[in-house]
Amino acid sequence: MEGYEKFKDDVFKLTKIDLDAYKERQMKRRIDTLITKNNIKTYDDYVRTIKADAKMFNEFVNYLTINVSEFYRNPEQWGLLDKEVFPRLIEMYGKNLKIWSAACSTGDEPYSLVMALSKFLPLNQIKIIATDIDSQVLHKAQVGLYNAKSVESVPKEFLNKYFTKIGQSYQIGDEIKQRVEFKQHNLLKDPYPSACNLIVCRNVLIYFTEEAKDEIYKKFHDALARDGILFIGSTEQIMQYKELGFGRYKSFFYSKE
């Protein structure tokens, strides 16, 4: 489809999502597929449609942001978090940990963090900051209803203790929900929190250009406390971690040097 440059400007004005920071070929292909599915022929017509129709607008943002997630995604790494990372963080910083789940999607990740930490700390001492650009996924996170596939990797003891089965769905308990503070946040433009002991940012930077990734890793570095840890997705790695001031603590875990 013609006119993608102008379309990117229009999308930025409407959503504050900067498509220039996302890998172009992949993103354009996704968008073209969605537009064609809606029987629309040009970007301008599509922009007019999403301006006029809130449902279509939401569908677009939702589709654009690719928000698949699940609890304990890549359980091996959660095992490492459990055995090595949490004990190390508690030894270094004590029990008041500042933890940020960046691009948290529907809440599976921050809620998993609360459950995993509950092995080390009483629930009322746990607080997770959880952010995402997409207000719809944040709403879903606050509702806290999940399908069987999403909770497949939740340890049985936690599934029994913290979820209620409602029909085919699983509702996360209030005692877990209350430990997470959800906020809308755009990694490309909003200010970052500071002095975090652990930042979890998984399966989102794969969609960004190298320049955007670099920028974000720099900001994560600034946002960490000294020796704080950055936990990334299992298909990701930070090539230039040394130049960015990180050390490699374990695969998928980097520490601020």
Ligand X SMILES: C[S@@+](CC[C@H](N)C(=O)[O-])C[C@H]1O[C@@H](n2cnc3c(N)ncnc32)[C@H](O)[C@@H]1O
Beta bridge pairs of residue 172: 163
**Chosen residue from 85, 109, 179, 232 binding ligand X by CB under 6 A:** 109
**Chosen residue from 82, 186, 214, 241 binding ligand X by CB under 6 A:** 186
What residues between 166 and 185 interact with ligand X by CB under 6 A?
185
Instruction: CB nearer to ligand X: give 33 or 125.
Output: 33
Is 73 a residue that touches ligand X (CB under 6 A)? yes
Provide the minimum distance between the beta carbon of 117 and ligand X in the complex, in angstroms, as a whole number: 17
Is 136 a residue that touches ligand X (CB under 6 A)? no
d(CA 231, CA 87): 15
Provide the minimum distance between the beta carbon of 70 and ligand X in the complex, in angstroms, as a whole number: 6
Is 133 a residue that touches ligand X (CB under 6 A)? yes
**216, 230 in Cβ contact below 8 A?**
no
Is 10 a residue that touches ligand X (CB under 6 A)? no
**122, 175 in Cβ contact below 8 A?**
no
Instruction: CB nearer to ligand X: give 89 or 187.
Output: 187
Helix (H) or strand (E) holding 250: strand 246-250
Is 77 a residue that touches ligand X (CB under 6 A)? no
What residues between 198 and 227 interact with ligand X by CB under 6 A?
202-204
CA atoms within 13 A on the CB side of 44: 2
d(CA 214, CA 245): 12
Is 66 a residue that touches ligand X (CB under 6 A)? yes
- The amino acid present at 161, given as its one-letter code, is K
> Helices in 73-209 by DSSP H: which ranges?
75-80, 86-93, 108-117, 135-143, 156-162, 174-177
Interface with ligand X (CB under 6 A): 65-69, 73, 103-105, 108-109, 132-134, 137, 185-188, 202-204, 233
